[in-house]
Homo-oligomer: A and B are copies of this chain.
Amino acid sequence: MTIPFSRRRFLASTSATVAASAVLNLPRRAEALARFVSGSTATTPDPDWKHKAITDFSRSPHAKLRQVPVSAVNVTGFWAKRRKTNVESSIPSMHDELLAHGRMDNFLRLQGKSSDPQSGPVYSDSDIYKWTESVGFVLQSSDNPELRKTADSMIRNVVAVQEPGGYLNTYYVGARKPERMLQHTQQVGHELYNIGHYLQAAIAYYRATGDPTMLNAGIRFIDDFLLPNYGPGPEQTPIISGHPEIEMALIELYRTTGNRRYLDLAGYILHGDTRWKIEPRAIKYMFCGIPFTSRTKLEGHAVRAMYACCGATDYFLETGDPAYWKTLDALWHDLSEHQMYVTGGVGAREQGEAFGDAYELPNARAYGESCAAIGNMMWNSRMLAASGEARFTDVMERALYNGINSGMSLDGKLYCYRNPLAFDPTSGDVIRNPWYDTTCCPPNLERTLASLPGYFYSTSKDGIYVHLYDASELNWHLEDGTGLNIVQKTNYPWTGDVQIAVSPAQPAEFTVYLRIPGWSTKNSVRVNGKAIDGAQPGEYLAIRRRWASGDHVEIAMDMTPQVLEANPAVMEDVGKLVLQRGPVVFCMEELDQKVRSRQINMGDYAAHKTGETKAHFDPDLLDGVVVLEHPGSITPAAEQVGLYHAATTSPDTHDATTLTLIPYYAWANRTPSSMQVWIPYKRA
């Protein structure tokens, strides 16, 4: 709980303004930087590469909060196991899958090192980039020479195929070269989507290693190819962001280099260009092509919409344009009031991987793409930075523990593309797979887990925000430079007690903003043993005082399982309930039930008011999970009744049973069996 002396010194010496020289210590890096600054636009990446967050709001004028770097938080609790699996199992096995499916051959072929034909869809380059970004975040947390070596080699092979004019893409080459950046290609060809992911990877890698090799090549794409030829100018070709992604990447590049042209270009893209006529269907599907600020609801392809919202929030954070905030807030209300699954997943329709109508939230047919849940979390983290409001953190936590966490198997080698809320193996669907030809989700899950510590805390002008609870240690500093160590001790999410030791390098008055989760309706907060009033679910509890090493905060959240129902307008969830405990949403897998049947329900609705659910931790099940037991009853098997029958003839009595529920994220890690999140209750 106290900071070792050496670390305190390290903290003191590495505040944002003093670490520039570190970059120049390495000859290779100095050389690269020299090459970099000699470029035509002379942009200079922020040399304090080591201390940048996932999204660097440190100079964003309209950010109320600033994330801490991934490296500042050492996670040792619930997420540590998932992150270890990510580094040791997922990232290496996905590397092998990417190579086995020819995704690196696409780069090698263009160097004459492979004779394999082009492989994979138009967006295949992005999968290599997202994997590289994952490694970048891994390296921000800890050294990993093997991954570093592999990624370095891949980066060399990527930048080697950049054309002299800056263009970089392995699909629109050879006979397809004339199709580059045509309107149709911009709408469906993912050239800028690929470069967006390239830039995010390059920035994460630069912030991990200081090596600007990848970053410099990315800047050349923008400076030499994109900016001169594409944009609003009368001599320029319009830009359509067929799959939004470039917007947030350009703004992060602006944050990294200080070159405002990148921000302006993102603004131009978000505004849309009327010179090209785009079909209304495409404008809806792509979530681009008209001014972002004219949007009134989420629609079209869910990942596109989420990424567009990320870019638009980034744009707001830099410009403060109130029209953007107004739109973003309206879209967020649409999301959280009409279009989000209880798991934090988004995207109701398989057709177009799309948002549905308001309250259209099918369970078995839920699309809920892993990438969309990740996009949801990324967007909400930006909304949180802009506002400091805990409603956004609630969505982040819901998505993280459920709709994102479900996306990777416990062994880290299988991934969900869809994340349905009900499943029947007789459908023939296989939800967890090691590979998808469109393999966007696996490396997206990997970069999310690798970057996760960066979401735990933010600083503000007046203190520190605690967003996520898990056993962990923060070593960072307040915005005035005061070193700060925070240690969380907890078994969260399995228990609701969190002990937080707050240790500034020297005693100082500041505010600790403690997140009270929206689900936490019963809780208590103590500082050094003394109760603190004012905690409200879904808000940050501001604890302002003079903090000194040895101070500790305790938050105790009641973890009694909660029975939730949906808005009556969600027609799919009528007559059904869901169990949630803390941030974890539960589901029922058939193989855990006392009765081998899908035909069980949650018993009387009235029974739920008495809180009959029992919870226990089972260390041997599914890598250790809390299991819920709930009274239920057995309904007639489907085969015993007709598809439609007179309501009066159906039986009114059901045998009692006990339902066993596991966390949703852990479903489908054993023998395939039917699964339900929303469970019918017995009618009266």
Contact = CB atoms under 8 A, between A and B. Distances in A.
Interface of A: 336-338, 340, 342, 349-351, 356-360, 362-365, 422, 424, 426-427, 521, 562-572, 574-578, 598-599, 601, 604-606, 608-609, 635-636, 638, 641-648, 650, 676, 678, 680-681, 683-684
Nearest to A608: B647
Q: Which of A358, A567, A635, A678 is most buried by chain B, counting CB atoms within 10 A of its CB?
A: A567
A568 B365 contact: no
A363 B571 contact: yes
B643 A566 contact: yes
Given A646-B562, A684-B683, A572 B575 contact: no
B609 A571 contact: no
B563 A646 contact: yes
A384 B349 CA distance: 37
Nearest to A609: B648
A473 B235 CA distance: 76
Contacts of A426: 357-358
Nearest to A299: B428
Contacts of A641: 567-568
A650 B676 CA distance: 23
Given A426-B358, A572-B571, A605-B683, A647 B565 contact: yes
21 contacts: A336-B643, A337-B643, A340-B643, A342-B644, A350-B351, A351-B351, A356-B365, A357-B364, A358-B427, A360-B364, A562-B646, A563-B647, A564-B645, A568-B599, A570-B643, A571-B572, A577-B647, A604-B684, A605-B684, A608-B647, A609-B648
Contact of A642 (B337, B604, B680, B684): B337
B427 A644 contact: no
Nearest to A356: B365
Contacts of A359: 638
Contacts of A676: 571
A426 B650 CA distance: 36
A563 B648 contact: yes
Contacts of A645: 564-565, 567
Nearest to A606: B684
Nearest to A570: B643
A647 B605 contact: yes
Nearest to A352: B351
A578 B643 CA distance: 13
Contacts of A599: 568-569
Given A362-B365, A562-B646, 16 more contacts: A342-B644, A349-B351, A357-B426, A360-B365, A563-B648, A569-B598, A569-B599, A569-B638, A570-B643, A571-B572, A571-B576, A571-B680, A575-B576, A577-B647, A605-B683, A683-B683
A576 B577 contact: no
Given A350-B351, A365-B362, A644-B578, A565 B650 contact: yes
B363 A643 contact: no
A680 B575 contact: yes
Nearest to A563: B647
A362 to B, nearest CB: 6
Nearest to A358: B426
A357 B364 CA distance: 10
Q: Which of A566, A575, A608 is most buried by chain B, counting CB atoms within 10 A of its CB?
A: A575
B358 A568 contact: no
A357 B564 contact: no
